[in-house]
């Protein structure tokens, strides 16, 4: 019996199966998902050992239904969601504390408040998705940030948002459930827009990695945010 963990991720399945891809694009609201998938596959890599010469459509298969996910697949997606949720908790608390500190006024203050509202919406969506899959959402960590200097805080915000976008990019190819992938992609693009805006605010390049963003694996991301979490 094949190991269920050897089953392709949702991203690989979408790249290989035109029928599945069309369903997914309807789910996320249009053809923009094609470009997103192409970039994610190019940046993160696919399965080099997979024979992509034929697809379900090429083989003449008429089965357009989705296979029932294995327990391992569901658990893997829940783990990814809870990892993302931890990062979103961190970002939400960061923006809330920045707004409360009153370091930014006018348009910049309003901008950071809006970003915080986005992060809270991400928290709510991720928690609901974990619960929908039968999992238990992780609890919010206690955080600590140095909020004494406005420019240092703006640079930290840019760092956190760039890291968040890179974290989603790294996890996308590992996701098995297409609904979970759709949620991750919709959050990833907002994180990237936050990052580009903050990069501009602090005088950095809008796309620091050039034309293709670089993914950041879980161990690197967790090590980077560890100083901001109270043990």
Nearest one of 120, 208, 119 to 159, comparing CA atoms: 208
CA-CA distance, 170 to 59, in Å (whole number)?
31
Tell me, what's the pLDDT at 69? 75
Pick the CATH number of 71-228 from 3.90.1170.50, 2.160.10.10, 3.20.20.140, 1.20.1260.10: 1.20.1260.10
Tokens of 170: 């790294």
- Delimit the domains of the chain by residue range: 71-228
**Tens place of pLDDT per residue across the chain (231 aa):** 444 445 667 656 655 655 555 555 555 454 444 444 444 444 444 444 444 333 333 434 444 445 677 899 999 999 999 999 999 999 999 999 999 999 999 999 999 999 999 999 999 999 999 999 999 999 999 999 999 999 999 999 999 999 999 999 999 999 999 889 988 999 999 999 999 999 999 999 999 999 999 999 999 999 999 999 997
Which of 156, 172, 200, 178 lies closest to 43 in space, CA to CA? Answer: 172
Please name every residue paired with 229 in a beta bridge, in sequence order, or none if there are none.
143
Q: Nearest to residue 170, comparing CAs of 88, 87, 80?
A: 80
State residue 9's pLDDT score: 72
**pLDDT score for 196:** 97
**Helix 106-132 × helix 178-201 angle, to 10°:** 160
């Amino acid at each position: 019996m094949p190991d269920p963990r050897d089953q392709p991720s949702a991203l690989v399945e979408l790249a290989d199966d035109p029928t599945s891809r069309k369903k997914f694009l309807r789910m996320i609201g249009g053809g923009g998902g094609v470009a997103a998938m192409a970039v994610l596959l190019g940046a993160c890599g696919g399965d080099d050992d997979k024979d992509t010469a034929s697809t379900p459509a090429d083989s003449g298969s008429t089965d357009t239904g989705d296979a029932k996910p294995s327990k391992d697949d569901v658990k893997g997606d829940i783990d990814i969601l809870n990892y993302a949720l931890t990062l979103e908790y961190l970002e939400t608390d960061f923006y809330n504390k920045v707004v409360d500190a009153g370091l930014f006024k006018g348009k910049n203050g309003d901008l950071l408040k809006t970003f915080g509202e986005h992060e809270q919406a991400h928290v709510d969506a991720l928690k609901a998705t974990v619960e929908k899959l039968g999992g238990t959402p992780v609890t919010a960590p206690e955080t600590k940030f140095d909020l004494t200097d406005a420019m240092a805080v703006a640079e930290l915000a840019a760092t956190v948002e760039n890291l968040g976008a890179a974290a989603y990019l790294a996890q996308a190819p590992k996701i098995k459930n297409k609904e979970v992938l759709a949620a991750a992609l919709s959050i990833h693009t907002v994180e990237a827009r936050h990052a580009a805006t903050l990069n501009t605010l602090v005088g950095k390049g809008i796309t620091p990695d050039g034309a293709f963003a670089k993914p950041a694996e879980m161990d690197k991301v967790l090590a980077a945010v560890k100083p901001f979490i109270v043990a």
